Amino acid sequence: MLLSDFKHLQAAAAGEALNPGHILEIQTVPELLAWAKEKCCEFVNLFVRWLDEQRDNVVIKAKQNLEGNYQQTCSLLKGTRLRMTEISEQVGFDNSSYFTVVFNNT
């Protein structure tokens, strides 16, 4: 998973490749613990940044989809033979009752 999803980890890990060889140079247990804690913190920070990027991408894509298709998709409410449940499914609502509430209030 690290190598496939986090390819940028090697370059970003404080200039140190993900190579356990550095561990062999450590002389004491406290040094090892400090190194491990530092690497864990770096990984957590990189992982959080990656999650933020993924979430932002999803939000941006959803927003673009809504902006591009909102008027087109809502035209399904005018002059169609589709049932309300079919329209609500096409525009991404799992619950047709909630869809009706949302569009009755707009």
Our separate counts of H helices and E strands in the chain read 5, 0
- Single out the residue of 48, 45, 51 nearest to residue 14, CA to CA: 45
Q: What count of Cα atoms within 13 Å lies in the side-chain half-sphere of residue 42?
A: 18
Residue-wise pLDDT tens digits, 36-88:
898 888 888 888 887 777 777 777 777 777 777 666 657 667 777 888 888 88
10-25 pLDDT tens trace: 555 545 555 667 788 8
Ranges of each domain in the chain: 27-104
Instruction: Pick the closest to residue 18 from 34, 42, 53 (CA basis).
Output: 42
